[in-house]
Amino acid sequence: MNKRSHSIAFWAGVAVFLVAVLSMTQIVRNEYPFFAGYVILQFIALAVAWTILGGYAGYVNFGTNAFFGVGVYTAVALFKATGAPLVVQIAAAAVVGMLLGFGVGLLTLRMRGIFFSIATIALAIIIETFVMNWRFVGGAAGIQLQRPPVMAPFDSYVKMLFFVQAILVVIAVGIARYIQNSRMGRGLQALRDDELAAECTGVPTLKLKLVACMISGALMSAVGAPAAMYLQYADPSSAFNLTYSVSALAMSLIGGTAHWIGPVLGAILLGSTQQFLAVTISSEVNVLVLGIMLVLFVVGAPKGIIGLLRPRYRLRAGGKQ
């Protein structure tokens, strides 16, 4: 297939996906599938966003929770202050996430590999501490939120959030796919392999890293924004939970980071397993299963699911030396 028919197939797939999601919200009465499905969609979008920096550029970001939490609290603060609608909350979260991404991007000037990763963890802790002491949004005790009335054609807020999250998935995948097929994708791949060689071959490495950080950050924060409305509650230790970082990273690596479909597959696999286990056994087993699967994949399929499916994507699964 050539590029053009690839594109047609892709956007047709997107259309089918959105129509399916929308009709599901109209047909299915039980709310539980949406409650669980929302989480899976959220992780798909997070993992795809993570891959833009962690996979394409090879800068392993452990601060997914920082971006997610910033998204949650941007939405909370905005909602409490102005009662802004969900769309505005998400857009504002994306802007704040992008600014935070710019800051993280500047870190890449001096830090690579494990040092960069540790710095992103520190960033998450700093922001969480700040929010814990911010009375307006409830501080460490958290804050209860009253959902506004749901908009037509949806009959429940969770169903609407499910659809919103599906749109965020489409946006994240669309952007990741665009980057992957563009000049920028090749530049990121080059700088991941060898930053100095890339720079000496004409790749503006700093600019590309900054753009990747900003896009990845904006998406992660946007994904976090509806979470407060989903739970009708927000508190710092769950909004900035390290599980988001570990999950996004594990899902991307298990799926494979060379292609946008990798994090999608990884998130579907891990996300649904987690949801299943949370119902059948306990939510604590999640983390154990995540760890075991990550180990199995690192040993057995270092290039992730897509590495197993298509040997052409022989790319290293993230991480710089």
Partner 1 sequence: MTIAAPDAPLLQVGTLTKTFGGFTALDNISVDIRKGERFGLIGPNGSGKTTLINCISGALKPQAGSVVFCGEDITQLSPHLRARRGIARSFQIPRPFKSMTVLENLMVGLDFAAAGSAAAEEEIAMSILTRMGLAAKAMAPSDTLSQVELRKMELARAMAVRPKLLISDEAMAGLSSSEVDEVLDLLISLGEEDITIIMIEHIMQAVMRFSERVMCLDAGKIIALGEPAEVMANKRVQEAYLGT
Give, as ranges, the residues between 166 and 185 that touch partner 1 (CB under 8 A).
183
Nearest distance from C-beta of residue 201 to partner 1, angstroms: 5
Which residue, 177 or 192, has its beta carbon nearer to partner 1? 192
Neighbours of 259 (CB within 10 A): 24
Interatomic CA distance for residues 128 and 147, integer angstroms: 24
Nearer to partner 1, 85 or 113 (CB): 113
Interactions with partner 1, residue window 257-296 (CB under 8 A): 258
- Paired residues of 143 in beta bridges: 234
CB 51 within 8 A of CB 257: yes
Does residue number 194 form part of the binding site for partner 1 (CB under 8 A)? yes
Question: Are 313 and 256 within 8 A, CB to CB?
Answer: yes
What part of residues 205-224 is at the interface with partner 1 (CB under 8 A)? 205-206
Q: Does 316 bind partner 1 (CB under 8 A)?
A: yes
Q: Which of residues 232-261 bind partner 1 (CB under 8 A)?
A: 258
Give min distance, CB of 187 to partner 1, in A.
6
* Residue in 23, 82, 201, 232 binding partner 1, rule: CB under 8 A: 201
Q: According to the binding rule CB under 8 A, does residue 315 interact with partner 1?
A: yes
SS3 108: coil
Q: How many residues bind partner 1 (CB under 8 A)?
A: 23
Nearest to 22, CA basis, from 205, 136, 155: 155
Whose Cβ is closer to partner 1: residue 195's or residue 235's?
A: 195
- Interface residue with partner 1, options 152, 202, 284, 321 (CB under 8 A): 202
CA-based nearest residue to 171, from 2, 20, 17, 6 = 17
d(CA 321, CA 194): 9
Please report, to the nearest 10 degrees, the dihedral formed by the alpha carbons of residues 103, 108, 114, 119 taken in order.
Answer: -20
Binding segment toward partner 1, per CB under 8 A, in 99-107, 194-202, 234-242, 290-298? 194-202
Taking CB under 8 A as the rule, does residue 112 contact partner 1? no
CB 162 within 8 A of CB 25: yes
Q: To which H or E segment does residue 261 belong?
A: helix 261-280
> Which span sits near partner 1 by CB under 8 A: 45-53, 239-247, 259-267, 309-317?
309-317
User: Where does this chain bind partner 1 (CB under 8 A)?
Assistant: 183, 186-187, 189-190, 192-194, 196-206, 258, 314-316
